Chains A and B, each alone.
Chain A
Amino acid sequence: MNGLKLLINQNISFLIIFLLFGIVFLVIGNILYETISQLTIKSFSNDLMNFLPSISVTFFNNILSTICAIFIAFFITEYLYKKSYFSSSFLIVLISFPHISYCIGITYLFATSGLFARLFSIFYGNEVPFISYRGDGLANLIYIFSLALREVPFLVLIGLSTWKKINPNQIQQQVSVLGHSDLSTLMNCIFPLWIKSMGLPVLIIIAFSFSNFEFSSILGPQFPNMINVKIIESWYSTNTELMQHLNSLIIITILGAGVAILLLFFLRNAIVSYFTNTRLFIPINYNTLLIGKFFFLIVVLLFTAIISITFFLSISKSWFFPSILPTTFTLKGWSYMIENYYVLFFHSIFISSTISIFSLIIMTYMIEISQNIKNIFKMLFLLSLMILVIPQNIMLMGINNLMSSSPFFSIKAWFYFSLFIYILPYTYFMTKQSYDDFNPQYIENADVLGIKRLKSFFSIKLPIMTNDFLIIFGVSFSVCFYQFLQGIIVTKGEELLFNNEVLILFSGESISTASSGSLLNFFPAGLLLTIIYIRYRYARM
């Protein structure tokens, strides 16, 4: 009887995973079928040639920003691990900063009439901003570094956990005997080990860069536009020529993301092999902690500047160049947001919490009832990979197509599902990390004492892993709360999150209202993660 129970329980885990696999396959199959059936080789090759500049820019920018993010994160990780581990938990709060607000903040900082230009005008005395010569070269540069720095907090948090497992202090002691300098120890010995364990976070980042709309649209170049922007442009357009490009763009994006992932992994292996076999940095004795400290300060200062400027914009009535601070103040933006959007705001909090908790429960349940956790993790890894490799905008178009052709479920159900599948990879990844870190000896001892699995989970695992579960919930919540493509592509405005409304307000005339919305948007996830940060002092992921 117990054996049967066990079999059923085990099968439930696999059943859930197979069900999810089935839906994701259906979604991907649907969009691929719809796209390919409407494409001819001729039209595709024509579009491919026409979009070559866009493809190159997208490819180049995304690869470069990912590489920058990896190296910056690596140096910051080293610095935080050795000198300021406590500060690392502050990065959790930064993870919760919305992408849209970040991008708008960057434009406020670097515009010709932005904060830096205003500070400069104090010394130069110019009453009128200088003429702006921002071309695509500079736009590409801003895009690469902004995207890289935005992804750094996430990479560092994952990177710290990996770093601990490598045990770099021991490596350093061992290789110093061989004459390695600090830099060569770091680059030749630690980096290859570290980067090898960072596969999934890097994959998450590269996949995001190929599907993000906010970075490409607000900060990216315009001539040519990046592919991500072109897709959404075609999606919205009533222009038949633009609409016809959509199918080619979908295939190009999938291929682009695939090639970029392969290239990055090839590059990773090449760099690892090069660094391992070449004693490149041995003669250079340089304090690597300084590099990490420098990048850490840049990240913290950048985020602080963005949050401050957004706050001032949210309370300013008039704030004209060259004033450093607003000349007249108003709280109209805040009261407008609270008065008009409080229902949606709390609704979004409720949806995001429910989906995050659901995702966490289902993940833990699958792991707990399974006898073969390794296989469950493998399957979940494959599922997460499938979800992440297909850029989000295209996956959501697939869901939308499926939704249109199957009237069995309501828009709401599809909306929640489309949010859920983008929480799943994050929940999986962090849950796996926590389970890897958990000492199995506790449960083995409990087993010996005859304590049932359910009881040992609630009495032993849960209290020990509460910190981890809270952080998983916090990160999943912020990921869910900041989704917005679902509201555009899947529900076409019929179901929205608060984040969507903020994006819409940024297309209007009232910057103070949009900025108030932007800060309000940051509030729930920021508050949640700050509480976790204060309560536990440091986060173990």
Chain B
Amino acid sequence: MKFLLNTLTKIIFLIFIYHSLYSADVNFHAWGGSVIINDFIKQVSKDLKKKNINLNHTKITDIAESIKILETDKKINKLQKGSIDLMWVNGENFHRLKKNQLLFGPIDTIDNYKFINTEDQSLHNDFGEPVEGLEVPWGRAQFVLIYDSKMIQKPPQTIEQLREFIKNNPGRFTYPQIPDFHGTTFLKQLLYEIVDDQSILQKPFSNCLNPCEPLKNLMIYLKDIHPFLWNQGKRFPKSAAETVPLLSNRELWLTISFNPNMAAVNVSSGNLRDVTRTTSFIGGAIGNTHYLAIPFNSPNKNASLEVINYLISPQSQADKSNIDIWGDPTVLDFTKIDEKQKKMFLDKQSIHILQNYQIPYLVEPHYSWTEAIENEWFKTFN
């Protein structure tokens, strides 16, 4: 009995030693509001166990929380043992991280980076800010309109058609309240439709002053449609997710999303009606990329790199783009993967989604426009 007990203790001790020597914890800070995304990360975490990596998903409300942690760490000189190993980030948050030198890099040296198109500038410029290897693309998004096909036979596909729809169907459309990311993206999309020369949006906002005509025209457009919005434009949903039940209950007939597969995913989970369809602005829709980055003081940089490598592998990307799992479009270049890998990307036929990216891809405006649009909106309506 004593022998058995001793042996058991030794085995447990050895497992513990092995575990501490050969396994690594990666603390992944990512938004935790979506059950679908949480489930995907949980599955990834299970897969990575085989590689002796413990991926812990810290479910945060806003990545700004994590940025504040890093800023504090830097302020108090905590340069080695930070609490964050990996972050899901993009846009103005990336800009803030880059500006304050809070990221480790370059990290584009990982194996599976070879599957990413190095020529595609939309992957290497995050809201107009060069990525410079400080983050690795993880997924893509494109602005779409989700609508109830029983209530709308011909959905709007231009800014003028949208205005007409809103005025003919008062109370049936809205957008998330600024500064919500989706709300701001909707305004940027309108801005693209309004400007004569779209290239101005790729330059810093400081090039468009005294007065900035596109921004002025955007506010005129908004003032025109606001009285016909849901709650007469006096109340807005806090997020795009909040518009899902409104659409399913037909309070709204049309809403916006940044995931072309969002309607399909939500119909399959029962959140939206079967008659839900997807369209977008035919002239082009804003697309952007979301990324993975490693903080400057992550104590597990190698393991984090392995996680990123796994997350951009064809297998993981195929799972992620599957509308039965997450439905987030891939960042991989199909010309760089072999036939067997291509087959993993099931080309799901769904009446709820936009097939084969029919809508031209517009690059996100320079990040400085985000703040300018938000401030102008606050000034005009708040």
Q: Is B382 an interface residue (CB 8 A)?
A: yes
Question: CA separation between A469 and B231, bound complex, in Å?
Answer: 49
Q: Flag A226-242 by CB within 8 Å of B: 1 or 0 each.
A: 00000001001111111
The answer on a CB contact under 8 Å between A222 and B236 is: yes
Query: Closest Cβ of chain A: how far from B188's Cβ, in Å?
Result: 15
The answer on a CB contact under 8 Å between A317 and B270 is: yes
Q: Which of B64, B96, B177 has most chain A Cβ within 10 Å?
A: B64
Q: Is A488 an interface residue (CB 8 A)?
A: yes
Q: B266's closest neighbor in chain A, by CB?
A: A509
Instruction: Please indicate the chain B residues that have their CB under 8 angstroms from the CB of A513 in the complex.
Output: 35
The answer on a CB contact under 8 Å between A135 and B61 is: no
Instruction: Please indicate the chain B residues that have their CB under 8 angstroms from the CB of A407 in the complex.
Output: 76, 78
Binds A, one of B17-25, B190-198, B237-245: B237-245
* Given known A134-B235, A340-B38, A511-B271, contact A493–B29 (CB-CB < 8 A): yes
The answer on a CB contact under 8 Å between B35 and A136 is: no
Q: Flag B208-239 by CB within 8 Å of A: 1 or 0 each.
A: 00000000000000000000001110111011
Q: Flag A282-302 by CB within 8 Å of B: 1 or 0 each.
A: 000000000000000000000
Query: Closest Cβ of chain A: how far from B120's Cβ, in Å?
Result: 26
Binds B, one of A125-133, A159-167, A266-274, A303-311: A125-133
Instruction: Please indicate the chain B residues that have their CB under 8 angstroms from the CB of A507 in the complex.
Output: 33, 61, 238-239, 241-242
The answer on a CB contact under 8 Å between B235 and A139 is: yes
Q: Which of B145-196 contact A (CB under 8 A)?
A: 151, 170-172, 177, 179
Instruction: Please indicate the chain B residues that have their CB under 8 angstroms from the CB of A133 in the complex.
Output: 171, 231-232
The answer on a CB contact under 8 Å between A509 and B34 is: yes
Question: CA separation between A134 and B235, bound complex, in Å?
Answer: 7
* Given known A112-B251, A128-B151, A340-B38, contact A494–B68 (CB-CB < 8 A): no
Q: Which of B35, B60, B172 has most chain A Cβ within 10 Å?
A: B35
Q: B42's closest neighbor in chain A, by CB?
A: A340
The answer on a CB contact under 8 Å between B60 and A510 is: no
Query: Closest Cβ of chain B: how far from A12's Cβ, in Å?
Result: 34
Query: Closest Cβ of chain A: how far from B225's Cβ, in Å?
Result: 15
Q: Which of A128, A131, A501 contacts B59 (CB 8 A)?
A: A501
Q: Which of A133-148 contact B (CB under 8 A)?
A: 133-136, 139
Q: Is B118 an interface residue (CB 8 A)?
A: no
* Given known A129-B249, A320-B249, A505-B35, contact A239–B64 (CB-CB < 8 A): no
The answer on a CB contact under 8 Å between B83 and A494 is: yes
Q: Which of B354-382 contact A (CB under 8 A)?
A: 370-371, 374-375, 381-382
The answer on a CB contact under 8 Å between A492 and B66 is: yes
Q: Is B338 an interface residue (CB 8 A)?
A: no
Query: Closest Cβ of chain B: how far from A52's Cβ, in Å?
Result: 13
Q: Which of B26-73 contact A (CB under 8 A)?
A: 29, 31-36, 38-39, 42, 58-62, 64-69, 72
The answer on a CB contact under 8 Å between B273 and A135 is: no
Instruction: Please indicate the chain B residues that have their CB under 8 angstroms from the CB of A242 in the complex.
Output: 179, 374
Question: CA separation between A320 and B148, bound complex, in Å?
Answer: 13
Q: Which of A225, A330, A336 contacts B270 (CB 8 A)?
A: A330
The answer on a CB contact under 8 Å between B245 and A511 is: yes
Q: Which of B60, B66, B250, B374 contacts A239 (CB 8 A)?
A: B374
Query: Closest Cβ of chain A: how far from B88's Cβ, in Å?
Result: 13
Question: CA separation between A131 and B78, bound complex, in Å?
Answer: 54
Instruction: Please indicate the chain B residues that have their CB under 8 angstroms from the CB of A340 in the complex.
Output: 38, 42
Question: CA separation between A318 and B248, bound complex, in Å?
Answer: 9
Instruction: Please indicate the chain A residues that have their CB under 8 angstroms from the CB of B315 in the complex.
Output: none
Q: Is A450 an interface residue (CB 8 A)?
A: no
Instruction: Please indicate the chain A residues that have their CB under 8 angstroms from the CB of B62 in the complex.
Output: 236
Q: Is B343 an interface residue (CB 8 A)?
A: no
Question: CA separation between A328 and B39, bound complex, in Å?
Answer: 22
Q: Is A224 an interface residue (CB 8 A)?
A: yes
The answer on a CB contact under 8 Å between B251 and A129 is: yes
Q: Which of B29, B61, B65, B381 has most chain A Cβ within 10 Å?
A: B61
Query: Closest Cβ of chain B: how far from A244's Cβ, in Å?
Result: 11
Q: Is A20 an interface residue (CB 8 A)?
A: no
Instruction: Please indicate the chain A residues that have their CB under 8 angstroms from the CB of B59 in the complex.
Output: 493, 501, 504
Question: CA separation between A511 and B29, bound complex, in Å?
Answer: 23
Q: Is A124 an interface residue (CB 8 A)?
A: no
Q: Is A198 an interface residue (CB 8 A)?
A: no
Q: How many residues of A contact B (CB 8 A)?
A: 53
Q: Which of B244-284 contact A (CB under 8 A)?
A: 244-246, 248-251, 266, 269-271, 273
The answer on a CB contact under 8 Å between B61 and A225 is: no
Q: B93's closest neighbor in chain A, by CB?
A: A238
Q: Is A321 an interface residue (CB 8 A)?
A: yes
The answer on a CB contact under 8 Å between A488 and B235 is: no
Q: Which of A111, A240, A488 contacts B251 (CB 8 A)?
A: A111
The answer on a CB contact under 8 Å between A492 and B241 is: no
Q: B84's closest neighbor in chain A, by CB?
A: A494
Q: Is B92 an interface residue (CB 8 A)?
A: yes
The answer on a CB contact under 8 Å between B266 and A217 is: no
* Given known A113-B246, A492-B69, A508-B35, contact A132–B273 (CB-CB < 8 A): no
Q: Which of A240, A336, A500, A508 has most chain B Cβ within 10 Å?
A: A508
Question: CA separation between A336 and B35, bound complex, in Å?
Answer: 8
Instruction: Please indicate the chain B residues that have their CB under 8 angstroms from the CB of A223 in the complex.
Output: 234-235, 381-382
The answer on a CB contact under 8 Å between A132 and B251 is: yes
Query: Closest Cβ of chain B: how far from A458's Cβ, in Å?
Result: 41
* Given known A236-B64, A488-B65, contact A217–B238 (CB-CB < 8 A): yes
Q: B273's closest neighbor in chain A, by CB?
A: A320
Query: Closest Cβ of chain B: how far from A156's Cβ, in Å?
Result: 32
Q: Is A503 an interface residue (CB 8 A)?
A: yes
Q: Is B2 an interface residue (CB 8 A)?
A: no
Query: Closest Cβ of chain A: how far from B64's Cβ, in Å?
Result: 5
Q: Is A404 an interface residue (CB 8 A)?
A: yes
Q: Which of A198-240 contact B (CB under 8 A)?
A: 217, 222-225, 233, 236-240
Question: CA separation between A505 and B242, bound complex, in Å?
Answer: 11
Query: Closest Cβ of chain A: how far from B237's Cβ, in Å?
Result: 10
The answer on a CB contact under 8 Å between A404 and B64 is: no
Instruction: Please indicate the chain A residues that have their CB under 8 angstroms from the CB of B60 in the complex.
Output: 492-493, 504
A-B contact pairs, 11 of them (CB 8 A): A217-B238, A223-B235, A320-B250, A404-B75, A405-B76, A488-B65, A493-B29, A504-B31, A507-B33, A511-B245, A511-B271
Question: Which positions in A face B, CB cutoff 8 Å?
Answer: 111-113, 128-129, 131-136, 139, 217, 222-225, 233, 236-242, 317-318, 320-321, 328, 330, 336, 340, 404-405, 407, 411, 488, 492-494, 500-501, 503-511, 513
* A-B CB proximity, top 7 nearest: A508-B33, A131-B171, A113-B249, A317-B270, A321-B249, A507-B33, A492-B65
Given A111-B251, A242-B179, A510-B269, list of 17 further CB < 8 A pairs? Answer: A135-B232, A222-B236, A225-B382, A236-B62, A236-B65, A238-B92, A239-B375, A321-B250, A492-B69, A493-B29, A493-B60, A494-B69, A504-B31, A505-B32, A509-B34, A509-B36, A510-B36
Question: Which positions in B face A, CB cutoff 8 Å?
Answer: 29, 31-36, 38-39, 42, 58-62, 64-69, 72, 75-76, 78, 83, 92-93, 95-96, 151, 170-172, 177, 179, 230-232, 234-236, 238-239, 241-242, 244-246, 248-251, 266, 269-271, 273, 370-371, 374-375, 381-382
